Amino acid sequence: MPEIPAVLRDVFVRFGVSAAVDILIVSGSIYWLLLLVRGTAAMTVLRGVGLVLVGALVLSQVFDLRMINWILRNSVTGLLVGMVIIFQPELRRALERLGRTGLRSVLHRREHEGSINIVVRAAMQMARENTGALIVLERETGLQDVIETGIRLDAGLSVELLLSLFIERSPMHDGAVVVRVDRVVAAGCTLPLSEAPLPAEYGMRHRSAVGLTERTDAVVIVCSEERGDVSLCSNGRMVPDLDETRLLRQLHRLFDIDFVEREAGATGDRRAS
């Protein structure tokens, strides 16, 4: 039986429970960060940085490039600082996700259920009338910086209020409405734009809806003025062209509320009456 090399023997001797835990934590953190940036522009940047570093390392070893070797050895700190600056939005989103407890959604589950039905009724009516709208449903992440870009209302949520805020003659119809539980906190708000590639048929409303959900856990409902359809954005993803039942089901899932199929029918009956 061949003898184990001294280097490998030394590794096996030092490998213990603490080393295994250390490897699992580092591996899990890297995997989680990769999942976080998957499908975003940051993933392309990360891939480019990785190719440059690997290429420089291979060339320096093959051709014995001492200057590049010295730069690579002494640039670790600078690379770490640079990565923090480049991936600042992704790191901020990761820390924001770690800070969520889910307690707020549980405490206001009944109020959220009533608000969802009101918002869905208003959204479907605006879609039928080809009225453009952006309705932001706040969850656990505070949206104070978004609220400050609009006009404070602090009014009770109702179908009539939402319809009046987005009619064409309204001075606030181009902005977003922020709903906190069962209150309309502000209207005419400006949302951050997403840099992710979207199909050409989606305009600024959809891009800003995706942009906000990339940075927070908010849910945004978009009514298209041109196509007369309803889209739902959450976690940086968009589900387009939803009917009333599918929209209700998606919102109940996002707010962790049991969905009963008859709710969609009841909503439709109330709207028809």
User: Dihedrals φ, ψ of 168, to 5°?
Assistant: -60, -30
Q: Residue 270: is its pLDDT beyond 50?
A: no
CATH 3.40.1700.10 spans which residues of the chain? 103-272
CA distance 125 to 221: 13
Which range among 36-50, 54-68, 106-120 has the greatest average pLDDT? 54-68
Q: What kind of fold does domain 103-272 have according to CATH?
A: YojJ-like (1 (3.40.1700)
DSSP secondary structure code for residue 188 in this structure:
E
Percentages helix, strand, coil for the chain (3-state, rounded to 5) are 55, 15, 30
Q: Residue 212: is its pLDDT beyond 80?
A: yes
pLDDT value for 133? 93
pLDDT band at residue 210, thresholds of 50, 70 and 90?
very high
**Beta carbons of 208 and 191 less than 8 angstroms apart:** yes
CA distance 35 to 48: 17
pLDDT value for 1? 44
**Beta carbons of 237 and 213 less than 8 angstroms apart:** yes
pLDDT band at residue 271, thresholds of 50, 70 and 90?
very low
Q: Residue 124: is its pLDDT beyond 80?
A: yes
Q: What pairs with residue 232 in β-bridges?
A: 221, 239
**Could you give the residue ranges of the DSSP H alpha helices within 129-184?**
144-147, 159-166
pLDDT value for 106? 53
Q: Residue 269: is its pLDDT beyond 50?
A: no
- Sequence-ordered list of residues with C-beta below 8 angstroms from that of 90, at least 6 positions apart, any chain: 33, 36, 37, 40, 42
Strand order in the sheet with 151-156: 151-156, 183-189, 176-180, 133-137, 219-223, 230-234, 237-239
Structure tokens of 155? 């009014």
| 48-104 confidence digits (pLDDT tens) | 777 888 888 888 878 877 887 887 777 777 777 777 776 776 666 666 666 555 555
pTM of the shown model: 0.64
Buried b (16+ CB within 10 A) or exposed e, 213-227: bbbbbbbbbbbbbee
| 224-256 confidence digits (pLDDT tens) | 988 889 999 998 889 999 999 999 999 988 888
Strands 219-223 and 133-137 come out as antiparallel
State percent of the chain over pLDDT 70: 76
pLDDT value for 254? 87
pLDDT value for 121? 94
pLDDT value for 266? 44
What are the distances in angstroms from CA 165 to CA 20, 136, 241?
Answer: 57, 13, 22
Q: 147 or 111: which carries more pLDDT confidence?
A: 147
Q: 135 or 10: which carries more pLDDT confidence?
A: 135
Output the average pLDDT for the chain.
79
> What is the three-class DSSP state of 205?
helix
- Average pLDDT (183-212) is 89
